[in-house]
DNA sequence: CGTAGACCTGCTTTC
DNA sequence: CATTCCAGGTCTACG
C-alpha cells in the first residue's frame, strides 16, 4: 500500500514535468511533422492518462534531441466559458532521461530554472518555433500565391512543419536515404545510434507501451504480461546520435555493412572523417549561421555536395532541415511527381523525363519498337512508355526547384514540406478524392481498366476556384 | 558538361 | 511462397 502511494506520488510528479511548448496546432502538428521523413528518430508511443479514472490512452512521440530524450504530446482541453465550451490543444513536452532532467530537480532552484528555460529553448529551436513568421501566416501566403493547389490543401496539412535538426545528424541520416525506403532508413539510423551514440538512461513506467508503427516488430497488443498494476520502474536506454568525432574514430565500413547499410556503409565513416577535418559540427553550424543570401545558400549546397555520399538531393535536405536554408526545395521522386501533376500546365517538366531511365535489363536488343513521341503533342503524360524507374537528373531538380521557388518565394522549402506531407499515405487518405495526387498504382490501374486517363484539369493556379474547403482534417 | 549502369537490402506484389 | 520491383539517389565511366 505504501508502495502504491509513493508510486502515485511519483507519477503525479511526472505529470507535472510536462511543459508547454508554447505553440498551437496551427503552427505545429506532431502527426504531420515528426513521422514525415524529415527526422527518422521519433517513435509514436501510447501513454495512459494518469489523471483519468479509465486511464484512457493518448499518443505521444518520443525522440532524442541532442542528449535529451524528449516526449511530446498534444493535449486536448475542454474549457467552458460563458456557456460555451472551447476546445484547445496544448502541445507539451518533457525530458525523460535522468541525467538531464535530474539537473533541474536536485540542484538549487536558480540553476534548475535556468536549465528548464534552456530545455524549452532547445526544443523550440528543434521545431523551428522561433521563426519570425508563424507557420499559419506562411500557409496563408502560400495559399494566396497558389490557391489551386496549396490553397485547397492547406487545411489538410495544417501544422506540417519544417524541422531544424542538428546538422550532422540530419546530413548523415539523409545519406542513408538514397535509393531506400523510410522503414529501413529508420532502422539504419537507429542502429547507428545504438552502436556509436552516447547512452541516455530513462525511467519508464511499465504502463506505457511502445506502439512503434513499423520499425521494430509488432510486439504491441500482446498483453502477455499483465503485471501492469505493479509499478515496475524499469529503465530504458536511448541513444544520442553519435557525434562526427565518435563516428570518425570508431566507425568503419564493414561494421556498417553488417548492420545492413549496404553500399552506403562506406560513405558514413568517410564523411565523418572529412567533416572532422573541416572542423566538425562547428563547420556545419557556420554554414547555418551564414547570412541568408542566395550566395550563401549556394555555397552551403556546394560544400555539402563535396562530401562523400552527398548529392544535390541530400544536400538540399540537410540545407532545408538543418541549415536554415528555407528556400531550398529538395527534389526527389515524390516532389517531382507532385510538381509534374500540379505545377506543370505546359508540360515543361514532363518533357524532361524522356531521356531519363535506369534499367538493368538490356532493352537494346529488342528495342525494335520505339515510341515516336519526339514531340509531346499532348502535355498530359507523354513519357508513359515502359515503366522504367524514373531517375531525376540534376537538371530536372533545378528546373523543379526554380518553378516552386517562383511560386512560393523565400520560404518555398516550407511549402515543399507541406506539399510533400500531403503525399504521405496517412495524410493522403484524409484528403478528399479530388485532391489526391494519382499514384503510380492509380495510373497503372487506369491503364489496365481502359485507357481512361482521368483527364487532368490543367488550369493555371490563379483563380480561387470557388469552393471553400473550410476546415478540417480528417484525422 | 549531361547521361547510362551499378549499387545493398528488405518489403510489397505478383507468378 | 519465391520472384521481381521499388524505395525520398549517388558515384563513376564515357561521349
The model's pLDDT over A136-171, given as tens digits with 9 standing for 90+, comes to 999 999 999 999 999 999 999 999 999 999 999 999
**Strand B nucleotides where any atom sits below 7 Å of a protein CB:** 2-11
In total, how many domains does chain A have?
1
Q: Please state whether strand B lies within 7 Å of residue A254 at its CB atom.
A: no
In a domain, A29, yes or no: no
CATH code of the domain covering residue A402: 1.10.1670.10
User: Given the C-alpha cell 545558400, which residue does it identify?
Assistant: A297
Q: Please state whether strand C lies within 7 Å of residue A403 at its CB atom.
A: no
**Tell me, what's the pLDDT at A74?**
95
| Phi/psi at A371 (5° precision) | -80, 135
In a domain, A383, yes or no: no
Q: Strand, helix or coil at A114?
A: helix
Read off the pLDDT of residues A296-338 as tens digits, 9 standing for 90 and up.
999 999 999 999 999 999 999 999 999 999 999 999 999 999 9
Among A388, A411, A393, CA closest to A349 = A393
pLDDT category of residue A58 using cuts at 50, 70 and 90: confident
Which residue has better confidence, A365 or A298? A298
Which residue has better confidence, A344 or A102? A344
Average pLDDT over residues A229-251: 89
In a domain, A154, yes or no: yes
| Among chain A residues 256-295, those with CB within 7 Å of any atom of strand C | 263
Cα separation of A145 and A461, whole Å?
8
**Tell me, what's the pLDDT at A224?**
43
Determine the distance between A155 (CA) and C4 (C1') in angstroms.
39
Q: Please state whether strand B lies within 7 Å of residue A360 at its CB atom.
A: yes
Cα separation of A167 and A319, whole Å?
8
Cα separation of A179 and A189, whole Å?
15
**Tell me, what's the pLDDT at A446?**
56
In a domain, A342, yes or no: yes
pLDDT above 90 (res A293): yes
Read off the pLDDT of residues A97-121 as tens digits, 9 standing for 90 and up.
986 655 555 556 787 788 889 999 9
Q: What is the extent of the structural domain holding A153? A: 132-161+326-357+391-448+457-475
- Residue A356 β-bridge partners: none
pLDDT category of residue A441 using cuts at 50, 70 and 90: low
Q: Which nucleotide is nearest to A334 (CA to C1')?
A: C8
In a domain, A234, yes or no: no
pLDDT category of residue A7 using cuts at 50, 70 and 90: low
**Tell me, what's the pLDDT at A55?**
77
Read off the pLDDT of residues A424-436 as tens digits, 9 standing for 90 and up.
999 999 999 999 9
Q: Please state whether strand B lies within 7 Å of residue A262 at its CB atom.
A: yes
Amino acid at each position: 500500500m505504501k508502495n502504491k502511494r509513493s508510486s502515485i506520488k511519483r507519477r503525479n510528479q511526472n505529470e507535472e514535468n510536462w511543459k508547454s511548448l508554447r505553440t498551437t496546432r496551427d503552427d505545429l502538428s506532431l502527426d504531420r511533422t515528426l513521422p514525415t521523413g524529415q527526422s527518422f528518430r521519433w517513435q509514436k508511443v501510447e501513454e495512459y492518462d494518469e489523471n483519468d479514472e479509465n486511464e484512457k490512452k493518448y499518443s505521444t512521440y518520443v525522440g532524442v534531441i541532442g542528449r535529451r530524450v524528449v516526449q511530446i504530446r498534444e493535449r486536448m482541453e475542454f474549457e467552458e466559458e460563458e456557456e460555451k465550451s472551447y476546445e484547445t490543444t496544448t502541445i507539451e513536452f518533457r525530458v525523460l532521461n535522468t541525467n538531464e532532467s535530474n539537473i533541474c530537480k536536485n540542484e538549487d532552484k536558480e540553476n534548475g530554472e535556468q536549465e528548464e528555460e534552456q530545455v524549452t529553448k532547445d526544443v523550440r529551436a528543434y521545431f523551428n518555433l522561433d521563426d519570425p513568421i508563424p507557420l499559419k501566416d506562411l500557409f496563408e501566403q502560400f495559399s494566396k500565391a497558389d490557391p489551386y493547389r496549396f490553397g485547397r490543401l492547406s487545411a489538410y496539412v495544417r501544422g506540417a512543419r519544417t524541422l531544424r535538426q542538428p546538422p550532422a545528424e540530419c546530413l548523415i541520416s539523409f545519406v542513408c536515404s538514397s535509393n531506400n525506403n523510410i522503414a529501413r532508413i529508420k532502422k539504419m539510423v537507429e542502429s547507428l545510434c545504438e552502436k556509436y551514440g552516447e547512452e541516455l538512461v530513462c525511467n519508464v513506467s511499465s504502463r506505457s507501451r511502445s506502439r512503434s508503427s513499423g520499425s521494430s516488430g509488432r510486439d504491441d497488443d500482446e498483453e502477455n504480461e499483465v503485471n501492469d498494476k505493479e509499478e515496475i520502474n524499469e529503465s530504458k536506454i536511448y541513444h544520442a546520435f553519435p557525434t562526427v568525432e565518435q563516428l570518425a574514430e570508431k566507425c568503419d565500413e564493414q561494421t556498417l555493412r553488417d548492420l545492413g547499410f549496404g553500399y552506403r556503409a562506406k560513405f558514413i565513416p568517410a564523411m565523418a572523417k572529412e567533416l572532422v577535418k573541416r572542423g566538425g559540427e562547428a563547420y556545419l553550424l557556420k554554414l547555418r549561421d551564414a547570412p541568408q543570401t542566395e550566395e550563401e545558400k549556394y555555397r552551403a549546397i556546394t560544400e555539402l555536395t563535396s562530401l562523400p555520399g552527398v548529392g544535390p538531393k541530400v544536400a538540399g535536405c540537410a540545407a532545408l532541415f538543418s541549415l536554415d536554408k528555407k528556400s531550398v526545395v529538395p527534389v526527389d521522386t515524390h516532389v517531382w511527381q507532385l510538381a509534374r501533376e500540379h505545377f506543370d500546365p505546359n508540360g515543361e517538366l514532363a518533357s524532361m523525363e524522356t531521356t531519363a531511365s535506369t534499367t538493368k535489363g538490356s532493352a537494346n536488343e529488342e528495342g525494335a519498337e520505339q515510341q515516336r513521341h519526339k514531340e509531346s503533342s499532348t502535355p498530359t503524360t507523354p513519357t508513359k512508355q515502359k515503366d522504367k524507374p524514373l531517375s531525376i537528373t540534376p537538371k530536372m531538380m533545378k528546373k523543379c526547384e526554380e518553378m516552386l521557388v517562383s511560386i512560393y518565394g523565400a520560404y518555398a522549402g516550407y511549402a515543399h514540406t507541406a506539399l510533400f506531407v500531403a503525399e504521405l499515405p496517412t495524410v493522403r487518405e484524409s484528403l478528399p478524392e479530388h485532391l489526391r495526387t494519382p499514384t503510380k498504382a492509380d495510373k497503372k490501374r487506369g491503364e489496365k481498366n481502359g485507357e481512361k486517363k482521368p483527364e487532368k484539369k490543367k488550369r493555371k493556379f490563379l483563380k480561387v476556384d470557388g469552393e471553400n474547403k473550410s476546415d478540417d482534417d480528417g484525422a
